[in-house]
Structure 1
Amino acid sequence: MAEKNIQILDQQGMLQNYAKAVLGMLPLPGAKAEGLPDRTLRIADVKIDANNLAEYVKVCRLRLRDTLPITYPFVLSFPAVMNLLVSKDFPLPAMGMVHMSNKIEQIRPISVSETLTIDVHAENMREHRSGLLVDLVTEITIEGELVWRQFSTFLRKQRTSLSDEPRPEKVDDSPGSAGELPTTTLKVTGKQIAKYADVSGDHNPIHVSKIGAKAFGFPTVIAHGMWTCAAALGILEGRLPDATTYTVDFGKPVLLPAKVAVFTRKTDSGWELALRHPKKEHAHLTAKIEAR
């Protein structure tokens, strides 16, 4: 994809982007394009902020090491992702989009001392029975070497030509579906998720404001999907291969405060994970970790 824009974003820019996201909910004629923008946003010369990394591993209950947690580059790329989502040439409004799934490919571990180049673009907008899906793709290179890539799939709920199709039957065979005991449990508080919002820069109202959450149909604030994505890995730290693919499907949101049950299962190719409600047993997250 041809590069058409290079931009470095700061924290103030992030706050402005959320204001743009709210404005994008309004029906302004001609404010949105029809197709995906044919451009890549780049953040160049990214150095790891040791204090931010330390706060991240603390709030996600991970260990501080000399290499980055596999999920941490999401935080580094988030300003570019938001910038793309709120741009006028992005066809879907950012607010109200649902993070459906996430796939991270770690080609090799990233050292905390390395300088990164982060590229973000959108691709593959397609219909779903519940709306439109689009992939936000992030690639991280170091001196031209691809070391990390992510596909974040978002859903914009609306009617499509597939909306009247029958709902496919889902079979849940992920860890915990057969009534086995959890490997461990996690307590999640509003204070903890507010801290994650500060660390990650993701101050979406559904995560930090009860009023904002109710405006989008939630009874209270919910945990970030990428917090659960990171925290779920805590139990497997030290047992993951350097070259790893981490695929996550998000289920029902975690309403705060909460206790979630964590289930793990060893497979021939790696691990399977699930985060579930301890009583209702529905899945908040199901995941696979496989060696590349």
Structure 2
Amino acid sequence: MTMEKRSTREALGDGLTELGRLNENVVVIDADVASSTYVKAFADEFPDRYYNVGIAEQNMVEVASGMALAGKKPYAVAFSSFLIGRAYDQIRCCVAMPNLDVKLVATHAGITVGEDGSTHQMLEDLALMRVLPNMNIFVPADYWSARNMIVSSYKNDKPLYIRLGRPEVPLFYSPWDEFHIGGGRIIREGSDVSIVACGIMLFEALRAADILARQGIEAEIIDCYSVKPLPEELIQSSVRRTGCCVVAEEHNGMGGLCGAVAESLGINYPVPLRFVAVKDRFGESGTPAELQEYYSLKYREIVGAVAQVWTTRRR
């Protein structure tokens, strides 16, 4: 991890532009947010493959599905709250049901959207996307993972939802790291507790692991960047070694990564389990840092959750 910071949404413009050079069938459909999502870079280089449909997310998804049927590789881009919230029926009926090669890329997800408030702070999107058959989900943690997921995504011909954020975050991965659907990474080995995280909570998990190590508890950190399909074997293998688990995500504690891990472990290997996530609430206005504190999405909460599961871990 470096001191340099870049946002995952910034990777969208760079990744799509690189994709445009690799595959002439890549097209971008935008809901009039090109400057905020950084897809303006693609529009400037490939104006004949960029379509701004205006603030009309439902129409955007239908246009994308039609282009997929015509053999194109469409990337539909909008803010998370409007892409998933407004266009859910179109995503369900026009993308997931026919199992089309449409990539849905949402920026400004989670409470770290900041001052824009609850209408823009989407905390339910992973749950909504998870329950759709055929849908795959990526949640990158930093700029390089986001960029590499976007660039490699065209090789897969299934529906895919990529969740990106607004704030700048530390660079953790390298330009050469690879990511695949159904994958995850152990980024710190440990024997006492498994911490499964995605997105910005990966960095909070790493900070928590440093504190726990000083207390004699070695945490194993898993970047669960593929929320669906879940890297179940990786998670279960870790939990069988550690005997307990904490899940951390910038999302409602129900239905997202927390729900996915709980379902998997509940069926296959039940262990003491705690969540660090938003607790059945909508967002509020504030700076990203203030909101992370207010909604208890910091390393301190992860340390506290580990203290609860570690004392009752499965041995």
- Normalising by structure 2, what TM-score? 0.27
- What is the TM-score when the length of structure 1 is the normalising length? 0.28
